[in-house]
Structure 1
């Protein structure tokens, strides 16, 4: 028996590779089953979240929407109000504790994303570790990399390769792991991003991936070219700005404009926090000898 056609393949792929506007623009798909329609809506709303349109998502998803959509709305609420995360997190925990919906794959995925943002990796893994979808496996790879456990990340990657070696998320997870391991693996990561850039339209995610590989290999001029192309696509993308700060420093160029933009648009970014902490330490050192 032939497998049913996957109507959402292109939509998912656009989302995974960071073509968020394309995902939104090409989401009007006919003859979807109810489950596929919910998954389609989740991908569209997550694309809006990725573009920073949190309020649109909060306004459009009402309390009668399906559980996966409610979970996506929680992510928008969490990201839209960095000063009041507690109420969103307590709602999330309530839902996860509810036996009727707590095991929903999208709810577990959103929980993993939120707790990863909180840097509470053990809590994130409580909800993601059982896997069940390619996205959950890919998120596990990311969490283990953040925990500096590339051995566990590699195990998750092997599970993904057994399910579908050519899946976009399997390829992405492979590239992330290669970058984390470093050394000769950097070239392999570069080839994965290069392959994406030949198959699909260039996105900030692909450009940043290639640029980070170039920086690891010491090719800062090429990295800068790729990052400036990414900046043309999205002038507020935090990863592009952060990578440009690092790249500029290595090229002996001023990075202050990129750092200022990052501070304005993403004050919670780890690079901003590190820069502020370094400035504070410097100020204290100056005070102590003044």
Structure 2
């Protein structure tokens, strides 16, 4: 059963959410703990795809991880501030009450989204499993604590270095430490091992892996190759904010102003509150005002 669980985990973490969902639905947990993990992973797949109606049906599930995923859907999708605040409080209480790893992980993510980095890191330490160690590494990188991320990666090694989660964390650290070649090779290996479409040997991976390859190519100054990676990702997810942001960056470096405007307009529509959108709009406004002051 552990091998079956590992296959579920690997496909989930590389971004093959549909396959991971199918594996969860076809697996038969041999223990209550296994059933709980399968159910929680299924719910997180529903978050990623997304399948909101299915998540709503999980609000009263017996599996804590499914209830946590349903609450996270409210937190990330609702425009009602009071509703979001209540969901955050309920998620924190659920994580504390159940001491469930999936609940703690989602609560840590919410804390990080709110800028409570220390609290998020403390929550991950309460569950010393590989997935939580990987989350701690990513939190460190998000805070630009690269040396800490390197140490955490070293501490996590030796448990399951062949797992997709560990290899993705290692690739992220390689990008942060200026070794995009090694990161690129890791993303390529994962694409080959976990194709987005069963039987596809083209080397194309999930949206997540194609975006990772693009980031590595951008760091290597290979922007045309990065665009090819991102175009494959856009085919699968035409409104993905991360893909569109990186496509805008590539067009800026390639000096393609018209293409930049096309992708930026699409990004504005798909994710109007994205940080890249807000900062770009603010810069445009500032330059417009400055130009007007010179002409006055």
Structure 1 CA distance for aligned equivalents of residues 263 and 90 of structure 2: 36
Secondary structure of the equivalent of 2:60? Answer: coil
Structure 1 runs not aligned, ≥5 long: none
Match of 1:71, SS?
Answer: helix
Matched-pair contact (CA < 8 Å) for 2:39–2:65: no
Preserved contact between residue 54 and residue 80 of structure 1 (Cα < 8 Å)? no
1:177-232: per-residue Cα shift (whole Å, max 9, x none)? 111121xx111111111111222201111111111111111111111111101111
Q: How far is the alpha carbon of 1:82 from its aligned partner? A: 4.7
1:90 aligns with 2:89: yes
Structure 1 segment 70-149 matched on structure 2, within 5 A: 70-84=67-81, 85-96=84-95, 98=96, 100-101=97-98, 103-149=99-145
Paired residues of 2:39 and 2:63 also in contact (CA < 8 A): no
Higher RCO (C-alpha under 8 Å, 6+ residues apart):
2
Paired position in structure 1 for 2:201: none
Distance 2:132 2:60 in 1: 25
Larger mean CA deviation between 47-56 and 169-178 belongs to: 47-56
1:49 counterpart residue number: 47
Structure 1 distance, partners of 2:114, 2:271, is 15
Long gaps (5+) in structure 2: 196-204
1:186 and 2:191 are equivalent in the alignment: no
* Residue 208 (structure 1) aligned to one of 186, 207, 211: 211
CA displacement, residues 39-66 of structure 1 (integer Å, 9 cap, x when unaligned) = 1121122112112333431x21132422
Secondary structure at the residue paired with 1:189? helix
Report the CA distance between 1:274 and its aligned residue: 1.6
Aligned length: 281
Contact in 2 for aligned 1:55/1:80 (Cα 8 Å) = no
In the TM superposition, 1:1-290 aligns within 5 A as 5-32=2-29, 33-57=31-55, 59-84=56-81, 85-96=84-95, 98=96, 100-101=97-98, 103-182=99-178, 185-201=179-195, 202-253=205-256, 254-289=259-294, 290=296
Normalising to structure 1: TM-score of the pair? Answer: 0.90
RMSD: 1.9
Secondary structure (helix, strand or coil) at the match of 1:6 reads helix
